Amino acid sequence: DAKTTQPPSMDCAEGRAANLPCNHSTISGNEYVYWYRQIHSQGPQYIIHGLKNNETNEMASLIITEDRKSSTLILPHATLRDTAVYYCIVRVETGSWGKLQFGAGTQVVVTP
Amino acid sequence: EAQVTQNPRYLITVTGKKLTVTCSQNMNHEYMSWYRQDPGLGLRQIYYSMNVEVTDKGDVPEGYKVSRKEKRNFPLILESPSPNQTSLYFCASSLGYTTYEQYFGPGTRLTVT
């Protein structure tokens, strides 16, 4: 299973872009990169996912390097409500249908 | 509104007293799953279901049972709860089990004394 490495914490100023890095150097060719976030003890919330190409939706952008060994989640204009733990997940498929392997994530604190 | 609901949200119980945590989704999702979250251990999958009457074990199934008699409901059953099952529990659902996003419920905080 591909594992991910994220910084344990980062701060971001309100209104600025937040760039959250993730390393997944052992990712397989058919594994997707997912991002979820969890606001204090609430249920995790899906943000975005991608395979090779960069993706953008109303919440964020996902930039995946060409070799797919790392990715960056971009929150374009961080707000106080974006304070949460952000999880970068590589989707485990074989033998564990649908399981999301959550790591420790990155605690993002958005400050005024 | 599309959502996953769980009940109860908070529960304090005693060792050995059977309990059920309900989970329901209104999105006609095929895939449903239960996770538990513990400090330092993150979220771990307990059981999952790919459709009605199809369930399988996740990473930490010991002490838990599930059933999937209807597509919308996926209850988690603790036949004889023990203190080590004190945790925060989340139900999740998705359209399918491959690349679809998963929707999580609000969580059930269970304390077993």
pLDDT tens digit sequence for B16-72: 999 999 999 999 999 999 999 999 888 999 999 989 999 999 999 999 999 999 999
Nearest-CB residue to A43 (from B97, B99, B107): B107
Residue B91, pLDDT above cutoff 90: yes
Query: Which of A31, A55, A100 to mutate against chain B (most B CBs within 10 Å)?
Result: A100
Q: Could you identify the residue written with the tokens 């109860």?
A: B8
Looking at the complex, does the CB of residue B90 fall below 8 Å from at least one CB of chain A? yes
CA-nearest residue to B6 within chain A is A43
Nearest-CB residue to B94 (from A41, A45, A98): A98
Looking at the complex, does the CB of residue B39 fall below 8 Å from at least one CB of chain A? no
Query: CA-based diameter of chain B, in Å?
Result: 39
Helices (H) and strands (E) in chain B, counts: 0, 11
Give chain A's end-to-end CA distance (angstroms, integer). Answer: 39
Looking at the complex, does the CB of residue B46 fall below 8 Å from at least one CB of chain A? no
Residue A93, pLDDT above cutoff 80: no
Residues A37-67 have pLDDT tens digits of 999 989 999 999 998 989 999 999 999 999 9
In terms of Cα–Cα distance, which of A31, A74, A38, A27 is closest to A54?
A74
d(CA B8, CA B111): 12
* Stretch A10-37: mean pLDDT: 94
DSSP A30-99: TPPEEEEEE-TTSPPEEEEEESSS-EE-SS-EEEE-TTSSEEEEEESS--GGG-EEEEEEEPP-TTSTT-
Nearest-CB residue to A42 (from B42, B99, B107): B107
Burial, B95: exposed, middle or buried (Cβ in 10 Å; 0-12, 13-18, 19+)? middle
Nearest-CB residue to B106 (from A43, A97, A99): A43
Contacts of residue A43 in chain B, CB cutoff 8 Å? 4, 90, 92, 104-107
Residue B97, pLDDT above cutoff 70: no
Contacts of residue A93 in chain B, CB cutoff 8 Å? 98
How far is residue B1 from each of residues B4, B9, B14, B27, B35, measured CA to CA in Å? 10, 19, 35, 9, 23
* Stretch A16-35: mean pLDDT: 92
pLDDT at A18: 97
Token duo for residue B30: 């095929």
pLDDT top residue among A54 and A28: A54
Q: A102, B43: Cβ pair inside 8 Å?
A: yes
